[in-house]
Structure 1
């Protein structure tokens, strides 16, 4: 079963952490990635840019309308994700608990089952 483990960022929470804690969280991601690659559960991971760098596209009357900035005004934003394949929901919850952000007060990991997965065509995977 595939699961999307999403990391949501609240810049105020992040800024309130000590430099040591922030460095520990960032370094912990490398260790986590190595662990779940070794277990064969890693499919993909991506860190996302800041909401200020995003754009929202809506088509109105057949014409694309582009608005700079985030889709929703919110304190928290989607900062990145891990796409994993686990034998069960319980295992996905265990894996999510290993992500460093899960151990930081005011942060957490959302675990959602993937109900459709197209994947890359053979031979087209990114290098």
Structure 2
């Protein structure tokens, strides 16, 4: 078995209305339950908006602490799921389901062993 990080990227800006998010959250809960039943689910979490982040950046012999995300962009990491599956094909299968539910890009990346 190999562990994979399924990262959900969401656009910067205001959080969508509850009536838009409710069916997505219901779908996510169902998918998480399905992954748990299959023995694939390890951990999942949503994140606060990118503007709540704090970044620590080495600067010579010091560390600079700044507010906000590490990169400049129009998207940020909004949540993630860690899964433990047989191979990349299995990870891509779960990621496809996740992307269909959240209607956002999902990056699949294996953990180093």
TM-score range, shorter chain: 0.7 to 0.9
- Note if contact 1:13-1:106 (Cα within 8 Å) is conserved in structure 2: no
Distance 2:100 2:32 in 1: 16
Q: How much does 1:63 deviate?
A: 1.8
Structure 1: which 5+ runs fail to align? 117-127
Structure 2: which 5+ runs fail to align? none
Structure number with higher relative contact order (C-alpha < 8 Å, ≥ 6 residues apart): 2
Q: 2:34 matched to which residue of 1? A: 35
* CA pair 13-59 structure 1, distance change in 2 beyond 3 A: closer
> If the length of structure 1 is used for normalisation, what is the TM-score?
0.76
More strand by proportion, 1 or 2? 2
Q: 1:84 matched to which residue of 2? A: 83
SS in 2 for 1:77: strand
SS in 2 for 1:72: coil
Number of residue equivalences: 112
> If the length of structure 2 is used for normalisation, what is the TM-score?
0.85
Larger radius of gyration: 1
Task: Calculate the aligned-residue CA RMSD, in Å.
Answer: 2.2
Moved over 6 A (4+): none
